[in-house]
Amino acid sequence: MALDIHTLRLDFPALAQSVNGHPLVYLDNAATTQKPQGVLDALNHYYQSQNANVHRAAHALSGQATHAFEAARSKVARFIHAPDAKHIIWTRGTTEAINLVAYSFGMHSLKAGDEILLSTLEHHANIVPWQQVAAATGAIIKVIPLTEHAELDLTAAAALFSTRTRLLAISQVSNALGVINPIKELIALAKQVGALTLVDGAQAVGHFPVDVQALDCDFYVFSGHKMFGPTGIGVLYGKRALLEQMPPWQTGGEMIRQVSFEHTSFGELPFKFEAGTPNIAGAIGLGAAIDYLSGLDRSILAEHEQSLLQQLLAGLTAMPDVHIIGRPAAGAVSFIIDDVHPQDLATLLDMQGIAVRTGHHCAMPLMQALGLSQGTIRASLAFYNTADDIAALLAGIDKAREFF
């Protein structure tokens, strides 16, 4: 199957607009992706003709809403190859999913002296909740350092694991540098010492297929909005035995079996972790995003993204004043330009309709480790980007340089 990107782009209405008098070149996909028409239609359809609360009423609309909501959960389970939809907990996003594990598992199970292993490449969402756990329990955070290529140092990592390590929490793909982390090797090291593993897949699921059983991680988390779904919906996958042992995090309606003023018993998985009315439309919209991706050949999409990445890296490498940070392998490329503040460049690119992100990318400790006090300029890709988008960015940088 040949890939006709220009036809595929027609599925994404937001891409076909002008910004500041120029056709939009959207290269901020690591922050959030655009949505295909099928996702927009699914959101609209739910609110227009199925709107009702789930799991509550005997009436027809509630039945339809519940069916669509639970069908979306099953789609997520198939999408990441979870053994069962009961392993899929809806959250607001990656951040809330990590907080759920931090509060339910971390706060209750970790003790003074236990160790949590993170990496230098983590997003704040996979740092700050663990700091809160450490502050409350006396657990200790250890951090896997980087090699000279800004990749995780596996030798150093191996030395950091000990019998005190209780959890490895690690991103699959770095949002700031586009580096793919050696999570299989790290999960294997964690297993040797009996530590649990949480994988932050926020920057992975939109770029390549993920199989949580093959990874054999204990928890896997991601956000719908970074994989062409709506904002405000995300996923925690967890192994059943663990989820069953973990206490609820938030409590209230929807998550109970029986309530009296003396005692409450909690619902089964996954409802035990889903207090209150959920983001029903968001879940259905994420299901529609999965339907959309499932209708495409993802290996061809990944090949296309790779060729864009190589085009971008070659173009940037040819610019003597540009320095690419690390060795990007998926999705995002971070760079700096001699004597140019990232924010100034981004403003000049925006004037040309080109959307990139600048700054610390919610990875301040990483920027500190790399000595990048002003952060970087980050261009991040999705399969709907084109060679013309990359050419526009490269030409946009040349044009911006005239101002400096």
- Interface with ligand 7TS by CB under 6 A: which residues? 30-31, 93-95, 123, 125-126, 171, 175, 200, 202-203, 223, 357, 361-362
What interhelical angle do 342-350 and 387-401 show, nearest 10?
120
Q: Is the peptide bond before 36 cis (omega within 30 degrees of 0)?
A: no
CB of 175: closest distance to ligand 7TS in angstroms?
3
**Which is closer to ligand 7TS, CB of 125 or CB of 397?**
125
Backbone phi and psi for residue 336, each to the nearest 5 degrees, phi listed first: -130, 160
Closer CB to ligand 7TS, 65 or 332, in the complex:
332
How many CB atoms within 10 Å of residue 229?
Answer: 35
Residues 351 and 397: their CA atoms lie apart, in Å, by 12
| Cα 183 to Cα 152: distance, rounded to the nearest angstrom | 10
302: exposed, middle or buried (C-beta count within 10 Å: 0-12, 13-18, 19+)? middle
CB of residue 225 vs ligand 7TS: minimum separation in angstroms? Answer: 6
Residue whose CB is less far from ligand 7TS, 66 or 175: 175
Q: Which is nearer to ligand 7TS, 126 or 137 (CB)?
A: 126
CB atoms within 10 A of CB 163: 10
Q: Are 181 and 173 in contact (CB under 8 A)?
A: yes
Of 65 and 212, nearer to ligand 7TS (C-beta) is: 212
The span from the CA of 103 to the CA of 246, in Å, is 10
Work out how close the CB of 200 gets to ligand 7TS at its nearest, in angstroms, rounded to a whole number: 5
Q: How far apart, in Å, are the Cα atoms of 95 and each of 11, 102, 125?
A: 28, 10, 5
Instruction: Determine whether 362 is an active site residue.
Output: yes
Task: Calculate ∠ Cα 55-76-126, nearest 5°.
Answer: 105
Question: Considering beta carbons, is residue 94 or 165 the nearer one to ligand 7TS?
Answer: 94
Residue 152 Cβ vs ligand 7TS, minimum distance, rounded to whole Å: 14
Instruction: Please identify which residue in the block is written with the tokens 């299901």.
Output: 287
Q: In the structure encoding, which two tokens stand for residue 22, read together?
A: 């120029």
Burial 258-294 (b: 16+ CB within 10 A, else e): eeeeeeeebbebbbbbbbeebbbbbbbbbbbbbbbbe
Which tokens sit at 147? 């090699």
Nearest C-alpha neighbor of 233 from the set 265, 280, 275: 280
**Least separation in angstroms between CB 234 and ligand 7TS:** 6
Nearer to ligand 7TS, 65 or 93 (CB): 93
Annotated catalytic residue, options 43, 313, 362, 364:
362
Kindly give, in sequence order, each residue whose CB lies less than 8 Å from that of residue 262, ignoring residues fewer than 6 positions away.
none
Q: Closest-CB residue for ligand 7TS?
A: 175
Query: Which residues have a catalytic role annotated?
Result: 362
